A and B are shown apart, each in its own frame.
Chain A
Amino acid sequence: MYQYDEYDQRIVDERVAQFADQTRRYLGGELSDDEFRPLRLQNGLYIQRHAPMLRIAAPYGNLNSKQLRTLGHIARTYDRGYGHITTRQNIQFNWPRLEDVPEILGLLANVQMHAIQTSGNCIRNVTSDPFAGVAADERVDPRPWCEILRQWSTFHPEFAFLPRKFKIAVNGAAEDRAVIQVHDIGLDIVRNAAGELGFRVLVGGGLGRTPIIGEEVAAFVPWQQILNYCEAILRVYNQHGRRDNAYKARIKILVKALGVPEFARQVEAEFAHLEDGPSTLTQAEIDRVASRFTDPVLSPLQADAGYRARLAEDKTFAAWARRNVREHRVPGYASVVLSLKPHGVAPGDLTAEQFDAVADLADRYSFGEVRSTHEQNIVLASVREADLVALWQDARAIGLATPNIGLLTDIISCPGGDFCALANAKSIPIAKAIQERFDNLDYLFDIGDLEINISGCMNACGHHHVGHIGILGVDKNGAEFYQVTIGGQQGNEAALGKVIGPSFAAAEMPDVITSLINNYIDHRHDDERFIDTVRRIGVEPFKTRVYAERGARQQAGEIAHV
């Protein structure tokens, strides 16, 4: 992963000093709540239901073992013994004290980490493919470009107080695993007909209250110009994005209001002034940034006989390998996903001991590095095939080998009403109830690929719009209810789910999922996935089934009429 140089280190050190002073002035009464709020938010610090929540940046999901151990130490010392991987590849702690935050930031700076711009109306952590650099379908490694964007956006003086938050994602592979279509700017690294590198630029995607799929604003921006082009987009947005209504302030609303052609025209007009200016990138700078990524140099290895034999004779191991092990671009290596979705645990949670244990696994099996995923799991990117059995055994011992990656119980969920002050409803208990209902592994395997995404409110941190099944917490006369969508999808064919009908009480949710699954199983063709069946037969048969079976339960007196 990227190694800081003296300038990178100085910036995070200066940030720690700045925030320590701001916190001191706030606690001393010199800064009002309103004045301190954006300052703490731009350091990832929310005031939450129970205590401040601190969101720490994992740039494009990259973490090393030293950083993981520091996170474990923070969980143990300043929190209640656990932390949480977010849907934007960051790490959150739910229980630190405000007074301790400057000290925590100091510990993070010691291991090249920070909480800069993890919240607030500014350019947020850049996200990307957790399999960057190792995926077989990769065109270009997105990480150096993510790092260049990170540096450009860090304390950008013109764009620190945008109308609303601003998220950038970068994809460099055939299959988009960074969900670039639902970001404020989605960058797709491409080559033009002449073989030159550049970016296809999407703008105005996003989930939240008004979910929109991003649209192409430029088919090809040469790599040298990408910072100039982003600056043009941000300047148009900073000047003309709405500031009168926070719900209408994202760039997607501006793009919709102007229309893509007019928005693109304004960006091009601005870009015409910036093109070839001082922020133009050079090959030397790209090479320098790339050189600071300490990737192992891997040579192809012979297929491992022990691994193959174990696959044939051990069904439990084979099940794990089938779901949690992924092809690597170098023969003899694989990528492994550690599941943070054991049944009955809040999705994405890691205990302090697990942070340490994951650090050990990284050191032992994957060159000391891991990646967090937006699905809230952890990837060991480069593991020798010959080590897979040992890794599996070690991962099982710490509860991180549930063979459910991409299955129904690999649920994406925001922290929800248990923690978040914004939530209408709880998310985690719904995830747990569904995991308990679908506890039979053979049945889960039979159901196959299925993504359930849960958000506790319209802000959509759980990405419910792009879940094959999306669950949204809503407030109904002061009670917690859940609206269900189906047909959402991430990736190249990104789509927003459709609402199936009136919302449900929490206790009904496992039955609702059961009805959806049974309808799928009754209609599916051969190896058809849930999402493909929905696309083929439409929402209606699912809707009919769910509400018919709900009616029957009400008739039988199993649930109250609501």
Chain B
Amino acid sequence: MSDIIKNGRIQADDWTVLRLAEGEEAATVALPAGRVIVPLALWQARRDALLEQARAGAVGVWLAGDDDPTALAADLAALPVIAVDFPKFADGRGYSLATLLRTRHGYTGALRAIGDVLRDQFFFLLRCGFSELQPRAGKYTAAQLEAALASLRDFSEPYQGAVDRPEPLFRRQPRRPLAREAA
């Protein structure tokens, strides 16, 4: 069990993220017991065998930065969770992947950030459509994670539209010209 942030709260989580070790093959590697998030290559190699488990809510898929989200387009309704991996927090490809999954492909299920997920990126991650944030196990103490919830609300009215609020500020709020304000 590890902790994730979901719906603005810290929650216990029982998914295992499977990463292929050196020498392991997507086609043959043994799956751990319980609910598991598998790499895209594994999903593609064993889709027929895993589809039922996905529908039953026991298998999800994670994407690397250079994976093409269209590879999952036919499976979006079946997958209980899609994760996007941040190998380093400064690798920003995952923000575009998440945005595309939500806006281009219409994915409405759980979207999880995994890997180097740090509190100072929480706000951006939420804005790009992530619904679950999973910092590396041991990255934060319970107290630090609790404090990190504040970072979900770093900015109250961002300027531009994004997945969470598609309309930019000038459409969401009545912004006034200067003359009217002075009057």
Contacts and interface: CB of A to CB of B under 8 A. Distances in A.
Interface of A: 3, 5, 7, 10-11, 14-15, 18, 21-22, 30-31, 35, 38-39, 121, 151-163, 227, 235, 238-239, 243, 273, 277-279, 282, 285, 287-288, 291-292, 294
Given A10-B156, A35-B120, A161-B89, A235 B170 contact: no
Contacts of A160: 92, 95, 121, 124
B168 A278 contact: yes
Contact of A14 (B124, B144, B155): B155
B154 interface: yes
10 closest Cβ contacts across the A-B interface? A161-B92, A157-B127, A291-B177, A157-B124, A151-B159, A158-B95, A285-B170, A292-B178, A278-B167, A278-B161
A152 B156 contact: no
A161 B177 contact: no
B92 to A, nearest CB: 3
Given A160-B92, A287-B177, A291-B178, A11 B157 contact: yes
Interface residues of B, number: 45
Interface string B142-183: 001000001100111111111000111111010111110100
A35 B128 CA distance: 21
A20 to B, nearest CB: 12
A158 B166 contact: no
B168 A11 contact: no
A7 B155 contact: no
Given A30-B144, A279-B160, 12 more contacts: A7-B175, A11-B158, A121-B92, A158-B92, A160-B92, A160-B124, A277-B161, A278-B166, A278-B167, A287-B177, A292-B178, A294-B178
A292 B178 CA distance: 5
A244 to B, nearest CB: 11
Contacts of B35: none
Tell me which of B90, B128, B151, B162 has the highest count of chain A C-beta atoms within 10 A of its own C-beta. B90
B177 A14 contact: no
A39 to B, nearest CB: 6
B181 A279 contact: no
A50 B127 CA distance: 38
B159 A273 contact: no
A5 B128 contact: no
B114 interface: no
B167 to A, nearest CB: 5
A237 to B, nearest CB: 10
B177 A158 contact: no
Contacts of B6: none
Contacts of A227: 160, 168
B137 to A, nearest CB: 17
B118 interface: yes
Nearest to A239: B96
Nearest to B170: A285
A157 B90 contact: no
B52 interface: no
B91 interface: yes
Contacts of A38: 89-90
22 contacts: A11-B159, A18-B154, A21-B150, A31-B120, A38-B90, A39-B120, A152-B159, A154-B159, A155-B124, A156-B162, A157-B124, A157-B162, A158-B92, A158-B124, A159-B95, A160-B121, A162-B92, A163-B92, A273-B103, A277-B166, A279-B160, A288-B170
A154 B160 CA distance: 8
Given A11-B159, A38-B90, A157-B158, A292 B177 contact: yes
B15 interface: no
Contacts of B150: 21
A10 B154 CA distance: 11
A239 B150 CA distance: 29
A245 to B, nearest CB: 14
Contacts of B134: none
Contact of B91 (A7, A14, A15, A243): A243
A153 B124 CA distance: 13
Residue from the set B97, B124, B150 with the largest chain A CB neighbour count within 10 Å? B124
Nearest to A3: B178
B176 A5 contact: yes
B92 A5 contact: no
Contacts of A154: 159-160
A5 B103 CA distance: 30
Given A121-B90, A235-B96, A291-B179, A278 B171 contact: yes
